[in-house]
DNA sequence: GGATCGATTGACTGGTCAGTCAACCAGCCT
DNA sequence: AGGCTGGTTGACTGACCAGTCAATCGATCC
């Protein structure tokens, strides 16, 4: 062959990360030994430490990879010309689709980072917080435009909105509420409806 | 003395539980050694195992003690004659007051149990679920009375409502939003307002 | 005063893993 | 061939800590 296969045909690093998603999702971070990751990846124990400084770094990498996409999606929604309500729909849509596309990864991120406030959540608080802040900016903008009532604090609304979505994902993850294909679509509009329209009839 | 001090003057078991709250809140469950609990309680290591079968059981006890109060409060609200919206206000009020009354205990319960879905959360899922179900019953009742719109699934509304409150507590716990004395009162009505009235102006 | 029994003590053990490291291997260049 | 480089291997170690247990204490009763 003329090509120089400098990089090996299979990306072992990626292989380890993907294996880690599966194992973390199945057993939880604390209950998985590094050997479990290596086994699942079909790779020797030591190789994990060739590519990652520690077991923690594997999880950090998984989180950062995905969370940066979320931050980008929120910012993109914010910068768009859409109506405030449509912006929130875009954010909810992105998160729900993330779960639909890769439930195991989202499970790991939520259970092991976002909600693990005493371990990884603390480490990544600044990044997590950036998401809350960006959502709050969308809300505040909507209030300035008169699309949202102004007697609700934007930070508060942001927390409620995000909390509601995350609780929904948790419900799916732990099979507390049905997670059919239609449920996802329905959920997207329902979270926004709940926060924007409220429950009371007009 | 005529009295028979069958029980020792200080309840060591309670002392251990209270110490555990402080240490769990400060360091998190996984990071606290049993020796830390004993030290904080001013008690010998082995005494913890005299009163509790394991380190896990200490946390279980703390959770069950408090969660049963929450379940009772929700059920009491449900059984009352109040308007559906007032019932939700009562639930939100109880949870917020629980945090105000003992932030450390609520931090432990939320961080280590309710949101620790891969460890204790899984163990206590049935009890946690009972809270969601009771709230859903309040919502469904409100829908039957016409006080709430019916095109939002009650289970879904329940999850959103609870998720919003829990996210608020998380915000206080990790100092993402201000936790002054007035903020608590404001929050109670705001969670309900957000979920009942929504954000859009009338 | 000594027998009994529950509370209390803290040194010790056994098992578990994260992380290390020396050796091995495969491709590639000279 | 021989040597270099970087990916790959897995046995080993050192630290940590939950849980055990035999010993001590102290109150109460006979």
Contact A115 B118 (CB under 8 A): no
DSSP state string for A102-157: -HHHHHHIIIIIIT-TTTHHHHTHHHHHHHHHHHHHHHHHHHHTTSS-SSS-HHHH
pLDDT tops 60 at residue B5 = no
Residue A35 CB closer than 7 angstroms to strand D?
A: no
- Decide if A156 and B190 are in contact by the 8 Å CB cutoff: yes
pLDDT at B62 over 90: yes
Tally A–B CB contacts below 8 A.
Answer: 168
User: For A131-147, what is the mean pLDDT?
Assistant: 95
Dist. CA B78–CA B90, nearest whole Å: 9
pLDDT at residue B15 greater than cutoff 60: yes
Instruction: Check CB contact under 8 Å for A159 and B176.
Output: yes
Q: Report chain D positions within 7 A of protein CB atoms.
A: 7-12, 16-22, 27-29
Q: Which residues of B touch A191 (CB under 8 A)?
A: 160
- Cβ atoms within 10 A of the Cβ of A151, count? 11
* Strand D proximal to B145 Cβ, under 7 A: no
Residue range A172-193, pLDDT digits in tens? 999 999 998 888 988 888 888 8
pLDDT of residue A6: 43
Mean pLDDT of B62-84: 97
Distance from CA of B4 to the nearest CA of A (A): 45
- Tens digits of per-residue pLDDT, A64-113? 999 999 999 999 999 999 999 999 999 999 999 999 999 999 999 999 99
Kindly report the average pLDDT of chain B as a whole number. Answer: 92
Torsion of CA B28, B183, A133, A79, to 10 degrees: 160
Nearest-Cα distance to chain A for B174, in Å, is 8
Side-chain half-sphere exposure of A140, counting CA atoms within 13 A: 11
Helix (H) or strand (E) segment spanning residue A196: helix A181-196
Is there a contact between A200 and B116 if contact means CB atoms under 8 Å apart?
Answer: no
Question: Is residue B194's pLDDT more than 70?
Answer: yes
pLDDT of residue B95: 98
Could you tell me which of A14, A42, A139, A28 has the C-alpha nearest to residue B119?
Answer: A28
Provide the pLDDT for residue A2.
37
Report d(CA A7, CA A89) in Å as an integer: 41
Answer whether A117 sits within 8 Å of B174, measured CB to CB: yes
d(CA A95, CA A169): 9
Phi-psi map region of B180: left, alpha, beta (phi>0 left; psi -120 to 50 alpha): beta
B7 by Cβ neighbours in 10 Å (0-12 / 13-18 / 19+) ranks as exposed
When pLDDT is averaged across residues B59-85 and rounded to a whole number, the result is: 97
**Residue B65: its pLDDT value, please?**
97
- Please say if the pLDDT value at position B4 is more than 90: no
Q: With an 8 Å Cβ cutoff, are B194 and A191 in contact?
A: no
Distance D14 C1' – B83 CA (angstroms): 63
Cα gap B118→A179, rounded to integer Å:
19
Q: With 90 as the cut, is the pLDDT of residue B8 above it?
A: no
- Which token pair is B182? 């007035």
User: What mean pLDDT value characterizes chain A?
Assistant: 92
Mean pLDDT along residues B106-128? 94
pLDDT value of position A5: 41
pTM higher than 0.75, yes or no?
A: yes
Q: Residues of B with CB below 8 A from A23's CB?
A: none
pLDDT of the residue at A4: 39
Dist. CA B166–CA A117, nearest whole Å:
13
Cα dihedral B86→B130→B187→B113 (10° resolution)? 170
CA of A136, C1' of C14: distance in angstroms: 52
Which nt sits closest to B53, CA to C1'?
D19
Chosen for mutation from A118, A185, A196 (greatest number of chain B CBs closer than 10 Å) is A118
Report how far Cα A59 is from the mean position of its chain's Cα atoms.
13
Q: Helices B154-173 and A154-173: crossing angle, nearest 10°?
A: 120
Task: Determine contact, residues A78/A87, Cβ cutoff 8 Å.
Answer: yes
B47 CB-to-strand C distance under 7 Å: yes
Cβ contact A47:A16 at 8 Å: yes
> What is the percent of chain B where pLDDT is above 70?
95
Q: Which of A129, A187, A196 sits opposite B198 (nearest CB)?
A: A196
B115: chain A residues, CB-CB within 8 Å: 115-117
Q: A144: which 2 tokens?
A: 């300035």
Give pLDDT, residue A8. 52
Rounded CA-CA distance A57/A34 in Å is 12
What is the dihedral sign for C-alpha A192, A187, A173, B61? positive
């Amino acid at each position: 062959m003329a090509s120089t296969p400098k990089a090996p045909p299979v990306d072992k690093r990626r292989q380890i990360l993907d294996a880690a998603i599966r194992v973390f999702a199945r057993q939880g971070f604390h209950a998985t030994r590094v050997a479990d990751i290596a086994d699942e990846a079909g790779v020797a124990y030591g190789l994990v430490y060739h590519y990652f400084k520690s077991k923690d770094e594997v999880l950090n990498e998984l989180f950062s990879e995905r969370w940066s996409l979320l931050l980008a999606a929120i910012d993109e929604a914010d910068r768009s010309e859409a109506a405030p309500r449509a912006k929130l729909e875009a954010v909810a849509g992105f998160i729900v689709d993330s779960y639909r596309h890769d439930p195991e990864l989202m499970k790991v991120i939520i259970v092991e980072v976002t909600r693990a406030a005493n371990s990884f959540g603390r480490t990544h608080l600044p990044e997590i917080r950036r998401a809350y802040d960006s959502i709050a900016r969308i809300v505040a903008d909507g209030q300035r435009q008169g699309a949202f009532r102004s007697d609700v604090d934007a930070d508060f609304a942001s927390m409620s909105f995000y909390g509601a979505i995350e609780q929904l994902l948790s419900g799916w993850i732990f099979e507390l509420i049905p997670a059919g294909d239609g449920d996802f679509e329905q959920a997207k509009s329902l979270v926004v409806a709940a926060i924007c329209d409220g429950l009371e009839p007009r």
